[in-house]
Structure 1
């Protein structure tokens, strides 16, 4: 088992990362533990990722990953703009990655993620136990000269303490990029609480055929403040990056699919 105190590096992964507004904001808020606050709009994020070869990692080996969670208020990444995130689900095909992540407090379970690109259509599937859980469909273009770099901040619960880590990344996103649909298949699975509203409203994101990032070597204990007063009714903050195309939204199927 990898030592969870050791940092880990991943290079040139294929990564789809984006966020949306949920169909059930109250259910999303209920997933956030005391001491953290969801954003007023209850924004949800997801990262679907494939690492093809062991040579792309410092110790993980080849693996796939889907991490899903709730964007937080008041605990931004170092840029002061990117919201921190609370991981609610963490699905990987690798027992090594599962054990490493679980030792750092992530809710890690075994499952598989695939990313398939045909022409300008990207389909990303996440499954657990061979059963489909989540499918994303997007229109994607080619990489150009743009580089995105920065940090994400993610929270977990370890040994009863809230801890956070700051994850640096560098990626080469494609353009154009447009999410068309996000489908959650299992109403019984806890992840169903995070399903998007219909019509689907997307708040930023990208697909990068080459994305590199690091797991930090240490986690910082987060002090738990006194309970906050109840949040006001959720209201969207800012403008969404885009709404699902009309040809998809009018289909009448969940999540504009």
Structure 2
């Protein structure tokens, strides 16, 4: 955790707004009524436990499929209007996934948003990319993600932001931390990220986010191949199709918690 956990006092956080894309909305972590839970909701629960008499308030403005410029246009102004004590800002991932994207350019636009946020809200928690070394399809983007992650850490130093460093969170490099689509976290993956976010903010969390997974029986080559074929048919091909048609999974989605409300 390093300096991040020492620099921010969670006792003063009475309100929290999460902004971002599907990762922050919680896709892959289903909850009641078809909504998603996700790491940000789980962090909100940890923060709520620190505030007396349940006066803590939480908003989640994240919408799946959103690109950085959309997040900046739609969610950042709302977060500044709400003016919470804490904002988590996770954006740019969908931009990096696009063919031909430039992580240096994405980072420049990302920094402008961080500068705006830090001028209007209490604390801005920024989020790095995941290490995709062991992930099918995404492993070839590892260099771009690493470049963007280096920029995020530099931006965090400039604006004194705590960093939710997902690159160093080894437990989410296990495929059991990921949903069947291999693009979003599973409920356990979201849980571990929420715990790490709590640690970064100096919370005493109930479990170690980097706790080792139980041993797993090795799978044969044929079984892995069948899984890959099924995944490609059910998830990869539709995802590519949406990109070719210029569609997004969030075209008709809205923020699940647009206002600061008690949990």
* TM range, smaller chain: under 0.3
When normalised by structure 2's length, the TM-score is 0.26
Which has a greater percent of helix? 2
When normalised by structure 1's length, the TM-score is 0.27
Which has a greater percent of strand? 1
Higher relative contact order (CA 8 A, sep 6+): 2
